[in-house]
Structure 1
Amino acid sequence: MAEHSFPGTGQEFMERTKYRFLVRSDQENGLSQPPLELPKVPGAPVINLPKPSGLVIPPTDLRIAIERRHSVRVYEKTPLSLEELSFLLWCTQGIKKVHGTQATFRTVPSAGARHAFETYLLVNDVDGLEPGLYRFLAISHSLQRISIDPSIHIDIAHACFDQDFIMRCGVAFLWTAVPYRMTWRYGERGYRDLHLDAGHVCQNLYLAAETVGCGVCAIAAFDDDVMASLLGIDGINQFLIYLATVGKAGKAT
């Protein structure tokens, strides 16, 4: 391997986020913490999801789910039910308890219970939902419709370097990070935690999908700036960190 006189970007990131370089966080400096969830978009319709407590989901042995876990890119032309989608959202960002305005305790771990993610959904084939782009409102366990642009699935697939199975899945989960929720407490080190949290969330999706007969494929290859534009975010104070397709599992992978 050729030696360089300067570190690569990744190496520099790891070096500069070591604890010895950190300064006092905004929490330590007494600044108010950011909201637990982004506000609703004014005027955009909200759809209530079936409540997690009322869902009837077939039990699945955890060992079997782990053994079966693999990436699936071919899906049957069978829609997900709204109940199945509600279950998958609860497994990946479901809120078990809200602690005032300070924290939420969810079904996935997050450094300091900061839970800096917002979940967007590209809905292609879900019973009861018009195709389009939605955002999950975790605190109320509901969806808000963001866009019904008929070409949004094509645009997102193209922004993911033409991974066209995105257009054929039942739904794609798109997780964005709101970094200040994390860095308010942990400073620049918090950016490391965001990427760890993304792995926690996506693994929950893989395992939960096994329970409802679905397959998942995680995607980390995308044009950051194009995806930010499609989601209507600035790419700095909120940016896409990870996404995954979900659909009824086909025979090929």
Structure 2
Amino acid sequence: MRKGKKMLDKTLQDEIVKKGRGFLRGVDLSDPIGAAFVSDQGLRLPQPPLVKAAAATPETHIRLPEPESTSLAESDLTELLRSRRSYRSYGDTPLTLQQLSYLLWAGQGITGIKGENYATMRTVPSGGARHPFETYLLCRNVAGLGPGAYHYLPMEHALEYLGAVEAMSETISAALLEQKWAARAGVVFFWSVVPYRAEWRYGIRAHRTILIDAGHVGQNHYLAATALGLGTCTVAAFDDSLCSRLFGLDGKEEFIIYAAPVGSRRRDGAPHCTPTD
């Protein structure tokens, strides 16, 4: 428990946990409510956009190197799975733009379009090919890319610059609830969710699917970082309100759901990870 933090009444805490389990189970489709529910797709309402539109003009977008040209430190899948770890201690070597490009592509890259802009095929699976996530970055130490906040544009494989961030290291720590180790990362990935992309098809069952899909993104991210010889650690502890402000999100129709600092590994190779990582 963090110093100075007041604890809720245990009975109240247990009730909150029970509600969380109910959310995780979702609505049983065989009960009256579940059986009667019709998704917006079933109601023939228009589907939401496949990706979030960029705020800036295309001329200002930062094109990323092609991911296929990336040099990998390790490409054997068995070895990648065996050596994957959570790294919470980073060196001073900046990430390259090529490495950043590969990480973005591995986590949310588009590999094809299905039908008449009906769905995107990506490097990760997603229930119904809904892909309800957007990728944002706080860049601190990436060669060839100025510090600041960015939004990934998967259709173009490009970055959209959102603006400068004051006191970057301190802001990263604050955004991740004072996890100060993250402040040495070269870049921090933040994945937001646009729930309606999944709700349009799956309605009241969409939220379980969203959580499963987030896990797919996280594993691809880990394997890509490992292949590049970088260190990363996915986290779910962050300041929701601050993260929404950093990236201009409304916190209701779009909000941060997952994060991952990434950096070069320390020369001594210490991952600073717990046995369960």
Check if 1:79 corresponds to 2:89.
Answer: no
Give matches, 1:102-181, under 5 Å.
102-181=118-197
Secondary structure of the residue that 1:87 maps to in structure 2?
helix
1:53-102 CA-to-partner distances (Å, cap 9, x unmatched) read 33343552111111111110111110111111111111111111012311
1:140-179 CA-to-partner distances (Å, cap 9, x unmatched) read 0000011212324422321321011221101111000000
Amino acid at match of 1:185: R
Amino acid at match of 1:203: Q
Q: Which 10-residue stretch deviates more, 42-51 or 75-84?
A: 42-51
Q: Which residue in the other structure is 1:54 paired with?
A: 69
The alignment-based identity, stated in percent, is 42
Secondary structure of the residue that 1:8 maps to in structure 2?
helix
Give matches, 1:1-253, under 5 Å.
8-14=18-24, 16-19=26-29, 20=31, 21-22=33-34, 23-42=37-56, 45-99=60-114, 100-250=116-266, 251-252=269-270, 253=272
Amino acid at match of 1:188: I
Question: 2: CA distance between counterparts of 1:76 and 1:230?
Answer: 25
CA RMSD of aligned residues (A): 2.1
1:12-53 CA-to-partner distances (Å, cap 9, x unmatched) read 324553323331000000000000111111359310001223
Taking structure 2 as the reference length, the TM-score comes to 0.85
Question: 2: CA distance between counterparts of 1:198 and 1:153?
Answer: 26
- Bigger-Rg structure (1/2): 2
Cα pair 1:156 1:227 within 8 Å, conserved:
no
Taking structure 1 as the reference length, the TM-score comes to 0.93
- Structure 2 unaligned regions, length at least 5: 1-9, 273-277
Q: Taking structure 1 as reference, are residues 17 and 226 closer, same or farther at Cα in structure 2, changes over 3 Å only?
A: farther
Q: Taking structure 1 as reference, are residues 27 and 91 closer, same or farther at Cα in structure 2, changes over 3 Å only?
A: same
- Structure 1 unaligned regions, length at least 5: none
